[in-house]
Protein backbone atom coordinates (compact mmCIF):
# COMPACT_ATOMS: atom_id res chain seq x y z
CA UNK A 1 0.00 0.00 0.00
CA UNK A 2 3.01 2.24 -0.44
CA UNK A 3 3.88 4.17 -3.58
CA UNK A 4 7.56 4.55 -4.32
CA UNK A 5 8.54 1.50 -2.27
CA UNK A 6 11.38 0.89 -4.70
CA UNK A 7 12.64 4.39 -5.44
CA UNK A 8 14.19 3.47 -8.79
CA UNK A 9 12.15 0.43 -9.77
CA UNK A 10 13.79 -2.82 -10.76
CA UNK A 11 17.14 -2.99 -12.50
CA UNK A 12 15.71 -4.34 -15.76
CA UNK A 13 18.21 -5.43 -18.42
CA UNK A 14 18.29 -3.19 -21.50
CA UNK A 15 16.93 -5.93 -23.79
CA UNK A 16 13.92 -6.44 -21.47
CA UNK A 17 13.21 -2.69 -21.35
CA UNK A 18 13.43 -2.39 -25.14
CA UNK A 19 11.32 -5.51 -25.72
CA UNK A 20 8.58 -4.25 -23.39
CA UNK A 21 8.65 -0.75 -24.91
CA UNK A 22 8.32 -2.25 -28.39
CA UNK A 23 5.41 -4.45 -27.26
CA UNK A 24 3.64 -1.40 -25.75
CA UNK A 25 4.02 0.47 -29.06
CA UNK A 26 2.57 -2.49 -30.99
CA UNK A 27 -0.07 -3.91 -28.64
CA UNK A 28 -0.69 -1.47 -25.77
CA UNK A 29 -0.29 -2.04 -22.03
CA UNK A 30 2.07 -4.90 -21.12
CA UNK A 31 2.99 -6.75 -17.94
CA UNK A 32 5.61 -9.28 -16.94
CA UNK A 33 6.12 -11.16 -13.69
CA UNK A 34 9.75 -11.34 -12.67
CA UNK A 35 11.51 -13.00 -9.75
CA UNK A 36 14.18 -11.12 -7.85
CA UNK A 37 16.66 -12.15 -5.22
CA UNK A 38 19.66 -10.34 -3.80
CA UNK A 39 23.03 -11.77 -4.83
CA UNK A 40 23.99 -12.67 -1.28
CA UNK A 41 20.49 -13.42 -0.05
CA UNK A 42 19.49 -16.75 1.42
CA UNK A 43 15.84 -15.74 1.11
CA UNK A 44 13.75 -17.30 -1.66
CA UNK A 45 13.03 -15.17 -4.75
CA UNK A 46 10.09 -12.75 -4.73
CA UNK A 47 7.67 -12.17 -7.59
CA UNK A 48 7.30 -8.61 -8.86
CA UNK A 49 4.96 -7.32 -11.56
CA UNK A 50 6.38 -4.93 -14.15
CA UNK A 51 3.68 -2.88 -15.91
CA UNK A 52 4.57 -0.84 -19.00
CA UNK A 53 2.23 1.55 -20.79
CA UNK A 54 2.15 4.96 -22.43
CA UNK A 55 3.19 7.87 -20.18
CA UNK A 56 -0.43 9.12 -20.13
CA UNK A 57 -1.78 5.73 -19.02
CA UNK A 58 0.85 5.42 -16.29
CA UNK A 59 0.18 8.95 -14.99
CA UNK A 60 -3.57 8.25 -14.91
CA UNK A 61 -3.10 5.78 -12.04
CA UNK A 62 -0.46 7.65 -10.04
CA UNK A 63 -1.60 8.30 -6.47
CA UNK A 64 -4.38 6.48 -4.63
CA UNK A 65 -5.78 3.60 -6.65
CA UNK A 66 -7.63 0.40 -6.01
CA UNK A 67 -5.68 -2.57 -7.31
CA UNK A 68 -7.13 -6.00 -7.83
CA UNK A 69 -5.53 -9.07 -9.27
CA UNK A 70 -6.72 -12.47 -10.30
CA UNK A 71 -4.66 -15.61 -10.80
CA UNK A 72 -6.12 -17.94 -13.41
CA UNK A 73 -5.27 -21.50 -14.44
CA UNK A 74 -6.15 -22.92 -17.84
CA UNK A 75 -5.63 -26.59 -18.67
CA UNK A 76 -5.29 -27.15 -22.42
CA UNK A 77 -4.46 -30.02 -24.75
CA UNK A 78 -0.93 -28.57 -25.08
CA UNK A 79 -0.31 -27.99 -21.37
CA UNK A 80 -1.19 -25.50 -18.63
CA UNK A 81 -1.32 -21.71 -18.81
CA UNK A 82 -1.26 -19.55 -15.68
CA UNK A 83 -2.36 -15.95 -16.12
CA UNK A 84 -2.06 -13.04 -13.73
CA UNK A 85 -4.60 -10.31 -14.50
CA UNK A 86 -4.30 -6.91 -12.80
CA UNK A 87 -6.54 -3.84 -12.86
CA UNK A 88 -5.72 -0.50 -11.21
CA UNK A 89 -8.71 1.75 -10.52
CA UNK A 90 -7.73 5.39 -9.89
CA UNK A 91 -10.02 7.64 -7.85
CA UNK A 92 -10.92 9.49 -11.06
CA UNK A 93 -10.73 8.11 -14.57
CA UNK A 94 -10.58 4.79 -16.31
CA UNK A 95 -8.92 1.65 -14.93
CA UNK A 96 -5.62 0.41 -16.31
CA UNK A 97 -5.86 -3.35 -16.91
CA UNK A 98 -3.29 -5.86 -18.06
CA UNK A 99 -2.62 -9.57 -18.00
CA UNK A 100 0.47 -11.71 -18.36
CA UNK A 101 1.04 -15.44 -18.64
CA UNK A 102 3.42 -17.63 -16.65
CA UNK A 103 5.02 -20.80 -17.97
CA UNK A 104 5.55 -23.27 -15.11
CA UNK A 105 7.74 -25.44 -17.34
CA UNK A 106 10.38 -22.69 -17.14
CA UNK A 107 12.28 -22.00 -13.94
CA UNK A 108 11.43 -18.27 -14.08
CA UNK A 109 7.67 -18.83 -14.33
CA UNK A 110 7.65 -21.53 -11.67
CA UNK A 111 9.79 -19.39 -9.31
CA UNK A 112 7.60 -16.31 -9.79
CA UNK A 113 4.44 -18.28 -9.05
CA UNK A 114 6.08 -19.98 -6.05
CA UNK A 115 7.05 -16.51 -4.78
CA UNK A 116 3.42 -15.40 -4.96
CA UNK A 117 2.62 -18.34 -2.69
CA UNK A 118 5.09 -17.14 -0.02
CA UNK A 119 5.43 -13.37 0.01
CA UNK A 120 3.18 -11.13 2.11
CA UNK A 121 3.31 -8.19 -0.32
CA UNK A 122 3.20 -7.91 -4.08
CA UNK A 123 5.16 -5.11 -5.70
CA UNK A 124 3.94 -3.57 -8.94
CA UNK A 125 6.46 -1.40 -10.77
CA UNK A 126 5.09 1.02 -13.35
CA UNK A 127 7.14 2.16 -16.34
CA UNK A 128 6.34 4.65 -19.11
CA UNK A 129 7.24 3.48 -22.62
CA UNK A 130 8.57 6.15 -24.97
CA UNK A 131 11.03 6.26 -27.84
CA UNK A 132 11.83 2.54 -27.67
CA UNK A 133 12.74 2.38 -23.98
CA UNK A 134 11.14 2.39 -20.53
CA UNK A 135 11.46 5.00 -17.81
CA UNK A 136 10.56 4.16 -14.23
CA UNK A 137 7.52 6.05 -12.90
CA UNK A 138 6.58 4.59 -9.49
CA UNK A 139 5.86 1.40 -7.55
CA UNK A 140 2.89 0.23 -5.54
CA UNK A 141 2.86 -2.40 -2.82
CA UNK A 142 -0.34 -4.37 -2.31
CA UNK A 143 -1.02 -6.93 0.41
CA UNK A 144 -0.69 -10.57 -0.58
CA UNK A 145 -2.86 -12.03 2.15
CA UNK A 146 -3.26 -15.64 3.29
CA UNK A 147 -6.07 -16.27 0.78
CA UNK A 148 -3.97 -15.02 -2.15
CA UNK A 149 -0.94 -17.02 -1.02
CA UNK A 150 -3.05 -20.17 -0.67
CA UNK A 151 -4.58 -19.55 -4.10
CA UNK A 152 -1.10 -19.17 -5.66
CA UNK A 153 0.06 -22.44 -4.08
CA UNK A 154 -3.06 -24.21 -5.34
CA UNK A 155 -2.67 -22.81 -8.88
CA UNK A 156 1.03 -23.76 -8.91
CA UNK A 157 0.21 -27.34 -7.90
CA UNK A 158 -2.58 -27.60 -10.51
CA UNK A 159 -0.28 -26.22 -13.22
CA UNK A 160 2.61 -28.53 -12.29
CA UNK A 161 0.25 -31.53 -12.24
CA UNK A 162 -1.27 -30.53 -15.60
CA UNK A 163 2.20 -30.13 -17.10
CA UNK A 164 3.30 -33.53 -15.79
CA UNK A 165 0.08 -35.03 -17.18
CA UNK A 166 0.61 -33.60 -20.68
CA UNK A 167 2.42 -35.96 -23.04
CA UNK A 168 5.87 -34.64 -23.96
CA UNK A 169 5.20 -34.64 -27.72
CA UNK A 170 2.10 -32.44 -27.20
CA UNK A 171 3.67 -29.82 -24.93
CA UNK A 172 3.69 -26.35 -26.48
CA UNK A 173 3.28 -23.26 -24.33
CA UNK A 174 2.67 -21.05 -27.37
CA UNK A 175 -0.20 -23.26 -28.57
CA UNK A 176 -1.58 -23.57 -25.03
CA UNK A 177 -1.70 -19.76 -24.74
CA UNK A 178 -3.44 -19.50 -28.13
CA UNK A 179 -6.20 -21.80 -26.85
CA UNK A 180 -6.46 -20.24 -23.39
CA UNK A 181 -6.47 -16.59 -24.48
CA UNK A 182 -9.95 -16.98 -25.94
CA UNK A 183 -11.15 -17.03 -22.31
CA UNK A 184 -9.08 -14.08 -21.04
CA UNK A 185 -11.14 -11.16 -19.72
CA UNK A 186 -10.30 -7.67 -18.45
CA UNK A 187 -10.80 -5.61 -16.38
CA UNK A 188 -10.68 -7.56 -13.17
CA UNK A 189 -13.79 -6.59 -11.12
CA UNK A 190 -13.20 -3.66 -8.77
CA UNK A 191 -11.77 -4.47 -5.31
CA UNK A 192 -12.48 -3.36 -1.78
CA UNK A 193 -8.81 -2.83 -0.81
CA UNK A 194 -7.09 0.43 -1.72
CA UNK A 195 -3.42 0.85 -2.61
CA UNK A 196 -1.84 4.26 -2.27
pLDDT at residue 39 above 70? no
**Could you tell me if residue 132 is inside a domain?**
yes
**Could you tell me if residue 135 is inside a domain?**
yes
**Could you tell me if residue 65 is inside a domain?**
yes
**Could you tell me if residue 6 is inside a domain?**
no
Answer yes or no: are the C-beta atoms of 117 and 126 closer than 8 Å.
no
Q: Work out the average pLDDT over 80-97.
A: 94
pLDDT tens for residues 102-160?
Answer: 999 998 889 888 989 999 999 999 999 999 899 999 999 999 999 999 999 999 999 99
**Could you tell me if residue 178 is inside a domain?**
yes
Q: Alpha-carbon distance 189 to 162, whole Å?
A: 27
**Could you tell me if residue 118 is inside a domain?**
yes
* pLDDT of amino acid 40: 60
**Could you tell me if residue 26 is inside a domain?**
yes
Question: What does pTM read for this prediction?
Answer: 0.86
- Helix/strand/coil (H/E/C) assignment for every residue in 116-164: HCCCCEEEEEEEEEECCEEEEEEEEEEECCHHHHHHHHHHHHHHHHHHH
* pLDDT of amino acid 37: 66
* pLDDT of amino acid 191: 53
* pLDDT of amino acid 195: 52
**Could you tell me if residue 61 is inside a domain?**
yes
Q: Work out the average pLDDT over 24-51.
A: 81
Domain tally for the chain?
Answer: 1
Task: Give the range of the structural domain holding residue 168, as residue numbers without chain letter.
Answer: 14-183
pLDDT at residue 27 above 60? yes
Q: Work out the average pLDDT over 95-99.
A: 95
Coil, helix or strand at residue 103? coil
Amino acid sequence: MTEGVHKAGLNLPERVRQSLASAVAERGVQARVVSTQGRDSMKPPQGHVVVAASPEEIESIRGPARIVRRLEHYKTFYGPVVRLAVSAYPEDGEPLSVGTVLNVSQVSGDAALAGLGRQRSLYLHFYAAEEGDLSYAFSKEVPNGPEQRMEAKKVLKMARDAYAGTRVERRSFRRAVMLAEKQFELPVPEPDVEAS
